[in-house]
Chains A and B, each alone.
Chain A
Amino acid sequence: MQQFEIKRLIPMELFGYDVSFTNASLFMVLALAVIPLFYLIAMNRRALVPGRLQSTAELSYEFIANMVRDIVGEKGMKYFPWIFTIFMFILVLNLLGLLPYSFTVTSHIIVTFALAAMVWLIITAIGFMNHGVGFLKLFVPDGVPFWLLPIIVVIEVISYLIRPISHSVRLFANMMAGHAMLKVFAGFVVGLGLLGGWAPLVFLVGFTGLELVVAFLQAFIFTVLTCIYLNDAVNMHHH
């Protein structure tokens, strides 16, 4: 579990709060540097017929843009930069965390919870801004018998309030479980020695590939769920 340990690299304090530059901060700053740098290099030539890097950059753009357009519709396109930022931030932090000796920022519940809470707060604000008090109708589904309504409304409210928790725990648990698993099997390699250590090593290589998929998938899922919640707020779908 020491891979999840926070180490204070440069102790700092602001207004009595501890804001030290930790290894987590280091990787966040790294992501902040890597993402714009990648796009700067990839889009440098602005070629009409894109090369490999530029294709990748454009593919990521189109991927998220299509996702927003499919789920939320044209009205959601003004939130596209925000959703794109969420996706790239989580994706790059997940992938950076897969490098040996690196630190996985998204394996910390406080980080994922902060992201999910931000999503939840902003989307709730968007819902109230677009529909006013009418946004509360989200908790009253159509076509429910009136004697069921009290129960349904309570359930809907709870499921709405619990969204940031499930949203954040999913990402956090996936990243943490994956890394803990890698650690356990790496322990097997050492524990079984030269004779028996090869089997877990092979498994470890395969599992690292799976973790790459999971790193992408969880960033994707986080973004898709954000889009679905945003759709509720923008279009007031009655479900």
Chain B
Amino acid sequence: MDPQAAKFIGAGLACFALIGAGVGIGNIFGNYLSGALRNPSAAPGQFTNLLIGFALCEATGLFGLLIALMILFA
């Protein structure tokens, strides 16, 4: 296989990590929203936790994106 082509394929595969991040972020915000609708008074207190969860979740996806970029450009 052409090494260049293998590189592109590898980068594309590494981007699969973003699927998990997308599912995770959707989960976090969806659950936050349903919880907030059930008990709106408690929602603002959990906003910081929401953002922390969002960031932790997003980071895992971005690690994959990082690998893709490194494969492409490094």
Interface on A for B, CB 8 Å cutoff?
1, 67, 70, 166, 169-170, 172-174, 176-177, 180, 217-218, 220-221, 224-225, 228
Contact = CB atoms under 8 A, between A and B. Distances in A.
Contacts of B52: 221, 224-225, 228
Contacts of B73: 1
B51 A173 contact: no
Interface of B is mostly: helix
Interface of B: 48, 51-52, 54-55, 58-59, 62-63, 65-66, 69, 73
A217 B65 CA distance: 19
Contact of B59 (A70, A173, A176): A173
Interface of A is mostly: helix
B48 A224 contact: yes
B54 to A, nearest CB: 8
Nearest to A173: B62
A170 B66 contact: no
Nearest to A214: B58
B69 A180 contact: yes
